[in-house]
């Protein structure tokens, strides 16, 4: 399953392993970034994963030009075919080319994953910064809200939010309408963990000497957060982002698989898995193709995130 809040666990490992905020402490941050980058390039798995992620992103962006057919083009004379030269991955029950659906699926899945991760990152960072920086009563009220959202299992919250947004028709365009529910649900749900972690990081950085110095020099709170705190928690935030994207891709596919996500004829990997599930016994290739696509993408993102964490967290060196 891995509906696990894996990004939270990775983030917690990051904090637990004593990210002492070495960036910006003493040495100039430039050299630390460079050193981290050098270490990252030595991690072969992470580099391969980076290429794979770039490959999937390119496929997603150029889907209409790469795909041999359209995602909803039916060939009723060629239904449920095994892989062949005309249809590399075969066709599904409606005679649609599986490879094309996989490519368009990459477009939908990646778009959903990246957009929602960015939105929740934006909300979570601002929320976490405010909460961590202000401290005191503001912090405890803001964290209480987070605790409440945290007490609902992620998928339950996703379903609830989606039910609510689906009943409000914001758009008339069917493609946008199919996507808004999912996009909003994943964004609304995803920021909670990020806010928690960002808050923890801000509270650590807040105690640093350079922040005190900036305060003593009379800088505004906003300026300090923007110029001193934020750059110093950027590393963990980027690592979190690389874990949030695959998590959102996975949740999108979960939702689509249980029939509450993207609706046909649109194609995402979860929708394809759901379609394939119906004819598993006779035509397992319909299920395996999207499953493998999700697996490889998740794996690449996770390895990439691990690589980034190991490279930019000096405490983790040599593990």
Partner 1 sequence: MKLVSRLKENWKFLMGWGLLLGSLSLVVMSFFALPIPRALWWLTGSLAAVGFAHYTFSQNLVVYVIKRILEAVFVIFVIASMTFLLLRVIPGGPFDTEKALPPEVIANIAAKYNLDAPLHRQYSDYMLGLLRGDLGESYKFLGRNVAQIVGEALPVSLQLGVYSLILAFMIGIPAGLFAASRHNSFADNATMILAISGVALPSFLIAPILIIVFAFWLNWFEVALWLGPEYYILPVVVLGTSPAAIIARLTRSSVLEVIRSDYIRTAKAKGLSHQVVLYKHVLKNSLIPVLTFSGPLVAGVLSGSFVVEQIFAIPGLGRHMVQSVTNRDYPLILGTTLVFSVMLVLANLVVDILYAYFDPRIKLS
Residues that bind partner 1 (CB under 8 A): 1-6, 8-9, 12-13, 16-17, 147-148, 151-156, 159-160, 163-164, 167-168, 246, 250, 253-254, 257-260, 273, 277, 280-281, 284, 287-288, 291-292, 294-295, 298-299, 302-303, 306, 319
CB of 144 to partner 1, least distance (A): 9
Q: Find how far residue 148's CA is from the centre of its chain.
A: 22
Q: Quick check: 125 and 191 in contact, CB under 8 A?
A: no
User: What's the min distance (Å) between Cβ of 155 and partner 1?
Assistant: 4
Rg (C-alpha) for the chain, rounded Å, is 22
Q: Which residue, 186 or 211, is less far from partner 1 as judged by CB?
A: 186
Element (H, E) at 220: none
CA dihedral 15, 248, 290, 110 (to 10 degrees): -110
- Of residues 10 and 204, the one with the C-beta less far from partner 1: 10
Secondary structure in 3-state letters for 260-282: CCCCCCCCCHHHHHHHHHCCCCC
End-to-end CA, the chain: 27
Give the shortest CB-211-to-partner 1 separation in angstroms. 28
Q: Nearest approach, Cβ of 193 to partner 1 (angstroms)?
A: 9
> For every residue of 162-190, which 3-state class applies, written as one string?
HHHHHHCCCCCCHHHHHHHHHHHHHHHHH
Spatial separation of the C-alpha atoms in residues 74 and 93, rounded to whole Å: 9
We find the least distance from the C-beta atom of residue 228 to partner 1, in angstroms, to be: 30
Task: Report the candidate in 303, 300, 301, 276 with the shortest Cα–Cα distance to residue 290.
Answer: 276
If 0-12 CB within 10 Å is exposed, 13-18 middle and 19+ buried, where does residue 137 land? exposed
Place of tokens 């110095």: 213
Q: Which is nearer to partner 1, 194 or 224 (CB)?
A: 194
CB of 27 to partner 1, least distance (A): 24
Q: Which is nearer to partner 1, 168 or 217 (CB)?
A: 168
Q: Which two tokens stand for residue 261?
A: 């996500």
**Cβ proximity to partner 1, 128 vs 228, nearer residue:** 128
- Residue 48, strand partner residues: none
| Residue 3 vs 68, nearer CB to partner 1 | 3
Question: Whole-number minimum distance, CB 213 to partner 1, in Å?
Answer: 33
Comparing CB distances to partner 1, the nearer of 108 and 214 is: 108
């Amino acid at each position: 399953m891995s509906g696990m809040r894996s990004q939270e666990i990775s983030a917690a490992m990051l904090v637990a392993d004593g990210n002492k905020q070495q960036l910006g402490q003493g040495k100039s941050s430039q050299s630390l970034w460079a050193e981290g980058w050098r270490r990252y390039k030595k991690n072969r798995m992470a580099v391969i994963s980076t290429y794979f992620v770039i490959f999937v992103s390119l496929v997603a962006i150029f889907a209409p030009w790469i795909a041999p057919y359209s995602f909803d083009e039916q060939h009723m004379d060629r239904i449920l075919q095994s892989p062949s030269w005309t249809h590399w991955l075969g066709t599904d029950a409606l005679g649609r080319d599986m490879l094309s659906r996989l490519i368009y699926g990459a477009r939908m899945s990646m778009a959903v994953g990246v957009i929602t991760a960015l939105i929740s990152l934006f909300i979570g960072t601002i929320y976490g910064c405010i909460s961590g920086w202000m401290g005191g009563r503001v912090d405890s009220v803001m964290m209480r809200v987070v605790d409440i959202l945290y007490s609902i299992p992620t998928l339950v919250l996703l379903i609830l939010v989606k039910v609510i947004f689906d009943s409000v028709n914001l758009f008339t365009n069917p493609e946008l309408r199919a996507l808004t529910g999912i996009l909003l649900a994943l964004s609304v749900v995803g920021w909670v963990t990020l806010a928690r972690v960002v808050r923890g990081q801000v509270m650590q950085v807040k105690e640093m000497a350079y922040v005190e110095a900036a305060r003593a020099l009379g800088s505004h709170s906003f300026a300090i957060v923007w110029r001193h705190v934020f750059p110093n928690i950027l590393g963990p935030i980027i690592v979190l982002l690389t874990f949030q994207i695959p998590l959102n891709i996975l949740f999108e596919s979960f939702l689509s698989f249980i029939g509450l996500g993207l609706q046909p004829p649109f194609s995402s990997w979860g929708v394809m898995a759901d379609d394939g599930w119906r004819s598993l016994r006779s035509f397992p290739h319909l299920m395996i193709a999207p499953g493998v696509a999700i697996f490889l993408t998740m794996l690449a993102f996770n390895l990439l995130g691990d690589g980034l964490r190991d490279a930019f967290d000096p405490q983790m060196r040599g593990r």
